[in-house]
Amino acid sequence: MDKREITKAYQSQKQYFNHQTVASVPERIKLLKVLKQNIKQKEEDIIAALDEDFKKPEFETLTTELLVVYKEINLFIKNLKKWQKPERVSSDLINFPSSDKIFHVPWGNILVISPWNYPFQLAITPLIGAIATGNTVILKPSEYAPKTAQILEILISEVFKPEVCQVIQGDAETADYLLDLKWDFVFFTGSVNVGKIVSQKIAKNMTPHCLELGGKNPCIVDKTAKINTSVKRILWGKFLNAGQTCIAPDYLLVHENILNEFIESLQKNLHEFYGKDAKESENYARIISQKHFERLVGLLENQNIISGGKYADNELFIEPTLVLNPDLESKLMKEEIFGPILPIISYKNEEDLEKISLKNDKPLALYVFSENRTFQDKMIQKYDFGGGVINDTVVHFVNDKLPFGGVGKSGVGNYHGKHSFNVFTRQKSVVNRKTYLDVPIKYPPYNKTVLFKKLLKFFR
């Protein structure tokens, strides 16, 4: 789509929102039900598209893409009517008599830019919240997952009128042009570096936004951790989607007392997960593009690889790889990895943990494996992060009662469930003053100062 067509689509939605009454709650719920039905009909196509884009295993598509989307749609269908009701709050005595309410209203025309790593779920989930709350939406999916982007375009065009919601395909230049337009709200999911660019571009219009980014997520393993269980949960969270997950453990900090046993368990369980040759496994995805593949291979240079390390350029395959005690100043430990490479660093005490973890910005996630309640609490309270889990990884994402988002460079704002409703609406306050009584103290001439000073005593 060229710039002229993009501008036309943008203006069409802008005019529609400005000149039309926002669709009623029943109408929006009906749209969500149609969307859900169309997704159900296209399940096999979605699975096939993700397989073509980067060989995502069917089970991972069912669980991390479709299940999450269905949960979000069902939650909005069930609760939208209740959430949308104006919230009555108590009146202030100064305004007596009055009734005060908070209305939840849509922002207007929203731009959603979605990433390639979970290209269906991370496009549709925010779109559900945006549409359910009465906004119009232009969705820009990632060009790195073209088959999924095509499915998204077909799906959206079959469910929504273009002036309500449509997909615009394109590369970084298209995204750049879209961000130059004046939106009422922008929702972006992607890397920290691109997130900075998005933030700078929309700042000129002071556009409200939600940025879901990433970071180097620490995974701390205390000497009291149950080794085999911890290993399985860490490997699952790390190598899910071939490590291309923003909340995957980025590196392990393992207490020196259990390091050798822990490494043995890591190697043993990797073999059980993916067999002798992960390239032949149906349970392991590929790297999304040549660009990302080459960056990851570069991170392995001059590292102490203790398991894995093989790769195949022609298949964009990188074996699940363990690296022991990397140089903390290397690119591997400076950049978010976002791939199937897991550095393991041994530590002696909490001072070591602090020296290593505080080298990086506040992460999107933090994981702690320990049977020591005091240690658990100390780690959770000491470090700042978006969301965390004790004795597991990644699973906080699936609880729609928890807000999902980052802090600092790992993100701005949060969503999921009711939190999606909150992020895609703004609060509008209304005080309805009654006319059967009008206290004259506020009107000029101000000859009631002595009386007001007496009243002021109640507030001091």
Measured CA distances, 457 to 90, 118, 441, 444, 446 (Å): 22, 59, 16, 22, 18
Cβ neighbours around 21 below 10 Å, total: 6
Report, in angstroms and rounded to the nearest whole number, the Rg of the chain calculated over CA atoms: 26
For residue 283 the two structure tokens come to 């349970």
- Characterize 267-305 residue by residue with b for buried, 16 or more Cβ atoms within 10 angstroms of its Cβ, and e for exposed: eebbeebbeeebbeeeebbbbbbeebbebbbebbeebee
In single-letter form, the type of residue at position 77 comes to I
- Strand, helix or coil at 183? coil
Residue 351 known to be catalytic: no
Angle among Cα 191, 192, 196 to the nearest 5 degrees reads: 120
Going by C-alpha positions, the residue among 148, 101, 107 that lies closest to residue 129 is 107
Query: Out of 212, 219, 319, 336, which one is annotated catalytic?
Result: 212
**Which amino acid is located at 402 in the chain?**
L
* Residue whose C-alpha is closest to residue 362's, from 403, 329, 409: 409
Nearest residue to 412 (alpha-carbon basis) of 185, 237, 220, 248: 185
Q: Cα separations (Å) of 74 from 58, 78, 113, 279? A: 22, 6, 23, 37
Catalytic residue, chosen from 65, 219, 246, 319, is 246
User: Do 184 and 107 form a contact (C-beta atoms < 8 A)?
Assistant: yes
Q: Are 322 and 344 in contact (CB under 8 A)?
A: yes
Does 246 participate in catalysis according to the annotation? yes
Cα separation, 370 vs 383, in Å, equals: 16
Integer CA distances (angstroms), 346 to 219, 228, 356, in order: 12, 18, 11
What residues are labeled active site? 212, 246
